[in-house]
Amino acid sequence: MPNRRQSWFPSHPFCTGSAMKSHTIPSIESLETRWLPSSHLNAFAQFKSTDFPGVESISVRVGATDFHSHERSPIVGFILRSVSDGSIRATSAANGSTQTISAKAGLPGTEQGGLTVSILRTQAYSLKLPESSVGSNWTLQAFLAGDANADFRVDATDLRVISSRMGKSFGQPGYSPEADVNADGIISASDARMARSNMGVSTTIRPLHLSARLSSAIDPDQNGVVARRQATVVCSAIAGASLSVSMEGQRARRFRVGNAGQVSFAATLPAGTSVCRVLATGPFGQRTSARHEITVGDAILGWNRTHLDTIKDYRHENLIGAGRNVLTPPPLAARNLAIMHLAMADAVKEAESAAASRGLSNALVMSKVAAAAAARDVMGALYPGAVAAQRFNATFTECLLGVAPGRIRSEAVAIGKAAAARVLLDRANDGSSVLTTNPAADQPGEWVPTPSGFKVALLPQWPSVTPFLLASANDVLPPPPPALDSPEYAVAFNQVKALGSKTDSSRTADQTAIAKFWADGGGTFTPPGHWNQIAADIASSQGNNLAQNAKLFAALNTALADAGIACWKAKYQYSMWRPVTAINRASEDGNDSTEEDSAWRPLIETPPFPTYTSGHSTFSGAAATVLAGFFGDDTPFTTRADVPAGQVATIADRTFAGFSDAATEASWSRVFGGIHFLFDGEAGLESGRLIGELALQTFS
């Protein structure tokens, strides 16, 4: 046998279509190990370290009907990604033959990963992890070699796909990792030969595609916030999968998924916010996990969650000042949240007054319906469109569950609609949609578009938006940032240069985690949304009632809205350059204590607006002050990172002793991310605190 590290392409018979039966091979035979360009969409099975915590050995089962191959042994690719070079030892349970599945450095700009193409000849294997891999992060995927169109079979269509992409290399338009069968970074005749050697092979194994949710009968909008503790949990996965479902405070339940592709069961939900965790094991031995966050709450919390979900995926077609189709940016998210929660708070107050004046015993029902009606009208105005309206109607429908049609419901709806109309009218000409442009800059220290996108300035009109609480954004305007030639500037410059670099950074692992945890970038619910999530978690755990939540979220979001306005006032008044520009052009700053590095790039993508002050810091200072006023600053809590829709969060939750601690860490995260100087955050925190104090006075 050749050495397993030796390249068998292109001379090996399996790559030329020669008959396999004429060769003596072990049960798992390595054909090649090469760089992994990117994740394969044709993977039929996946194994992740997070789904096998502390496990040293994984069992893989090849059923008699898992592969159809017309007397050929299926050639299967195994992709191993690891945080460091590593390997998995695969051993046949039938005859003891072994093969190493390796991970190694990937192509430039990619994750580390290695491809091992193997032939499955027996029906059971044990995947042994080396001690260095136990507890580390790794992912192992399995796919049919040559399945270029990801339909889990290899046929003439795959050969046509490979042929149409011939000559394309990694990074070029038209390159496809599925067509690059041998994962050498270029699609060539070798890939076509590999596909031909696997021609006619197919697999019945499918990705698990696991999901967990509450039934639509109790949660019509599917946002995880429900009013009742009695619910039906629905889990979906491929037929034949085994499920282990854990509800907080309850024993795990086990199910086998039938041909319908789902199982359901009745559950009593814990009070407050909890998580339903599901682990699915497929017939091949692969696993995947899912979690569904559930909150037992009221109409305020339900609409807050719907609003955060909308921020994540709603695209504004012509957001003036952005010059492009964009997701909701942080200042606009805060403004819109403030409008909705002000209308809901007004509706609750009016409904309570109406119920009291008539001696009604169902004031809570009136308040709930009025708040829901106000929210639906506001959301429809702020986020127009049929798709968004379906979400809003579903949340409204959920709020009406158990409320019979009649005079009380009609009056409550009218109260809510009137409250929405008043607040929308008040904000109709607040300056948020006035067309402005950011003046061109060419002097050292002035903001210019930054790599990699070099996008135009976002929301340059925001300094002129009418505040909700402040008389003027100038009331909390900080002094100018340090002069470029000052010692203070040099200290902050060298600090972010060392801590915030994408490569060769002096950050600790925890500091990197902090930067990514608080990133709250495009496709997430943004920094204001993150603080709303924190508030919702604590409000539900504390058992707040509807009126308390109405006041809390009105105070929080008007503070966040003014934080955005005040911060953008400072940003565009001082128009200071970002760290990436400062470091790339340090020779222009007149400071002997700074040194230019034209290749320096930050860990986090730099957002398209000036650096001083930090938006996340200003939002955090305002939110932490408001929440401390309602709950006490020594309230401990755990919060989680948000990710764009369709992605899975891989960043660990973080726990804090209080709100001030979280705000300080959020501010520092921008230094660790390389997108802010420390003085940006310090000034932002102070402005935010002043705004938060004003909100507490207003809503006392």
- Tens digit of each residue's pLDDT (9 = 90 or more) over 526-573: 999 999 999 999 999 999 999 999 999 999 999 999 999 999 999 999
- Contact 103/69 with Cβ under 8 angstroms? no
Tell the CATH topology of 487-698: Vanadium-containing Chloroperoxidase; domain 2 (1.10.606)
Calculate the average pLDDT of the chain.
87
Q: Give ∠ CA 644-647-651 in degrees, rounded to 5.
A: 90
The whole-angstrom separation of Cα 478 and Cα 487 is 19
Q: Which of 426, 411, 335 is nearest to 373 (CA)?
A: 411
Quote the CA–CA distance of 95 and 91 in Å, as a whole number.
8
Q: How far apart are CA 237 and CA 210, in angstroms?
A: 5
The CA-atom distances, in angstroms, between 456 and each of 228, 606, 608, 639 are 47, 12, 6, 33
Question: For residues 571 and 480, is the Cβ–Cβ distance under 8 A?
Answer: no
Which residue positions in the chain have pLDDT lower than 50?
Answer: 1-38, 105-112, 321-323
For residue 674, give the DSSP letter: T
pTM: 0.85
E strand or H helix at 573, and its extent?
A: helix 546-574
Are 197 and 14 a contacting pair, CB within 8 Å?
yes
Structure-token pair, residue 77: 């690719």
Confidence at residue 102, expressed as pLDDT on a 0 to 100 scale: 67
Q: Out of 3.30.420.40, 2.60.40.10, 3.40.50.1100, 3.50.50.60, which CATH number does the structure's domain 214-296 have?
A: 2.60.40.10
* Number of CB atoms found within 10 A of residue 93's CB: 14
pLDDT of 117: 62
Give me the residue label for tokens 């200042």: 331
Largest CA distance in the chain: 93
Identify the burial level of 317 via C-beta atoms within 10 angstroms of its C-beta, where 0-12 means exposed, 13-18 middle and 19 or more buried.
Answer: exposed
What is the residue whose two structure tokens read 């077609």? 317
* CA–CA dist 485, 139 (Å, integer): 49
pLDDT in tens, 352-370: 999 999 888 889 999 999 9
Q: Is 70 exposed, middle or buried (0-12, 13-18, 19+ CB in 10 A)?
A: exposed
> DSSP of 413-441, one letter per residue?
HHHHHHHHHHHHHHHTTSSTT----PPP-
DSSP string over 211-270 = EEEE-TTT-TT-SSEES-SEEEEEEE--TT-EEEEEETTS--EEEE--TTSEEEEEEEPP
Pair 291, 211: CB distance under 8 Å: no
CA neighbor of 696 nearest in space, from 562, 565, 566, 570: 562
Angstrom CA distances, 235 to 285, 291, 612, stand at: 19, 10, 47
Beta strands in 613-676 (DSSP E): 637-639, 654-656
Task: Give strand pairing partners of 114.
Answer: 35, 80
Give pLDDT, residue 249: 83
Q: For residue 82, give the nearest of 53, 109, 48 by alpha carbon.
A: 48
The C-alpha angle with vertex 185 and arms to 193 and 606, in degrees rounded to 5, equals 150
Across 261-284, b (16+ Cβ under 10 Å) vs e yields: eebeeebebeebbbebbbbbbbbb
Contact of 248 with 327, CB cutoff 8 Å? no
Domain residue limits, the chain: 13-203, 214-296, 306-427, 487-698
Alpha-helical (H) ranges within 318-447 are 330-357, 363-382, 386-399, 407-427
Which H or E run includes 273? strand 273-281
**Do the beta carbons of residue 234 and residue 215 sit within 8 Å?**
yes
User: How would you label 637-675 residue by residue, b for 16+ Cβ within 10 Å and e otherwise?
Assistant: bebbbbbeeeeeeeeeebebebbbbbbbbbbbbbbbbbb
3-state secondary structure labels for all residues of 118-165: EECCCCEEEEECCCCCCCCCEEEEEEECCCCCCCCECCHHHHHHHHHC
pLDDT of residue 118: 66
Report residue 599 as tokens: 């290749």
Helix orientation angle between 659-672 and 509-517, rounded to the nearest 10 degrees:
100
